[in-house]
Structure 1
């Protein structure tokens, strides 16, 4: 039983480390990204921009 507990703890540690790495990478990306104007942000949130308009401001869209 002890081996299973140790293995589980090691797997959990690896998952946590991967999550932290993803978080740190995204945090670094946010530091270099330019913020959008407030009106553009509101149009995105309200769904008022077309895919073509999103592409012009380099915002990826999900389908």
Structure 2
């Protein structure tokens, strides 16, 4: 029973269905797992809770305009 955890910035709800389907299809195809037993879990993360190179991404976004 594969479980895939995907963490990404919040606000991408419209993409989740397609992502879940493609991830499920890839695992089923390459690992030979029945799609009914593949779980995809999305964790929405606010930009102020994600840091890149020691800086919160929310601050990085402010700098890039």
The TM-score normalised by the length of structure 1 is 0.29
RCO comparison, higher one (Cα < 8 Å, 6+):
2
- Which one has a larger percent helix, Structure 1 or Structure 2? 1
- Larger Cα-atom Rg: 1
Comparing both structures, which one devotes a greater share of its residues to strand?
Answer: 2
